[in-house]
Amino acid sequence: MNFSKTRNVELSIIDAIETAVNASWTGVTTVKAFAQAYAVKVPVLCVRMLSIDSKRREIGGNTLYQEFSFIIDIFAKSDGQRIDLEDFIVNTIKNGFTYYQYSRDSGQTETLSKTANGRIQWLRIDSDNRIDSGSSEDEHERYRQSITFTVTKG
């Protein structure tokens, strides 16, 4: 079973962020859903697709040009770690990503196969903000950063 282009973009970006973080950091968990971020101890990165903007490539045609917006929430242990992880993430996403086509054998729910098939081009950082929760006692909210960026499949 082959996955859709949108799902492939999402999985490719999550995989790239997780691989880069694991190669350079220890003890940082990467998750796909916001609720999962609260199930593990900080530091944690939550990578999720925010929206898809689809436009016709040309008037009268049915081929779409799509832009995919993602959000990465950084839940850090300290303010310094928040800043360092933010710099690391921005420097990682600005280079773009390998686009993988993912598939899974029928009946197989655990193992995914992936084949490189192009690039995901980084277009822009839409926002990059510290989330100030005041004097929150919640360790996940104390040192949080949110980065929103947009990509397209090249």
Task: Convert the pLDDT of each residue in 28-68 to its tens digit.
Answer: 999 999 899 999 999 999 999 999 999 888 888 888 899 99
Task: Convert the pLDDT of each residue in 96-141 to its tens digit.
Answer: 999 999 998 877 767 899 999 999 999 999 999 999 876 667 788 8
Task: Give the CATH class of 5-153.
Answer: alpha beta
Per-residue model confidence (pLDDT) at position 63: 84
* Mean of pLDDT over the chain: 93
Per-residue model confidence (pLDDT) at position 141: 85
* Verdict on whether the full-model pTM lies above 0.85: yes
Alpha carbons 154 and 146: distance in angstroms, whole number: 25
Q: Is 23 helix (H, G, I), strand (E, B) or coil?
A: helix
Per-residue model confidence (pLDDT) at position 146: 97
Give, for 66, the enclosing helix (H) or strand (E): strand 64-75
Alpha carbons 2 and 58: distance in angstroms, whole number: 27
Alpha carbons 11 and 152: distance in angstroms, whole number: 14
